[in-house]
Amino acid sequence: MTRKEDNQLPYLFLCHGAANVGQLGNDAARELFKEGELKIACIAAVGAHNPDFIKPFQSGKMVFCVDGCSMRCASKTLEHGNIPVINSMIVTDLGIEKNHDLNLNREELKRVKAGISSMVKGAASKKV
């Protein structure tokens, strides 16, 4: 796939939690980044209330979010930063059970990657 211009790529904020579901989202996002599908944005900078970082995301950027579990920490952080999100997903909604052993399953990683890709491409294709 041809890499889009950087300014046209969607941004993905995601959970980096200490459980398998956060790490699955992170690993899947890194693969999609390397394939030129999206940019990964720093959720910690939003949580730190860094205005120079937050302001550009408050208007005009395609922003997506991946939460590891139903606690929705990444989504709630974006809400607090007043950053609008086009769409979001929760990894455990893909039928992946949350655990803390961090032994990531390749089949689950493929499922998460496909879910993120579908979410981003679906919304991007609707944008005029």
Residue 123 has pLDDT above 90, yes or no: no
CATH entry 3.40.50 includes domain 6-122? yes
pLDDT band per the 50, 70, 90 thresholds, residue 125: low
The set of long-range contacts for 45-52, using a CB threshold of 8 Å and a minimum separation of 24, is: 46/13, 46/77, 46/78, 46/80, 46/81, 46/83, 47/77, 47/80, 47/81, 49/81
pLDDT band per the 50, 70, 90 thresholds, residue 81: very high
Q: Please state the domain extents for the chain.
A: 6-122
pLDDT band per the 50, 70, 90 thresholds, residue 2: very low
Angle made by CA atoms 39, 18, 122, in degrees to the nearest 5: 35
**pLDDT single digits (tens) 43-69:** 999 999 999 999 999 988 999 999 999
pLDDT band per the 50, 70, 90 thresholds, residue 127: low
Helix 20-34 vs helix 106-126: crossing angle, to nearest 10: 60
For a pLDDT cut of 90, what percent of the chain falls above it? 84
pLDDT band per the 50, 70, 90 thresholds, residue 1: very low
Q: Which of 40, 21, 57, 18 is nearest to 120 (CA)?
A: 40
Range scoring the smallest mean pLDDT among 51-55, 94-98, 124-128:
124-128
Query: Three-class SS string for 18-54?
Result: CCHHHHHHHHHHHHHHHCCCCEECCHHHHHCCCHHHH
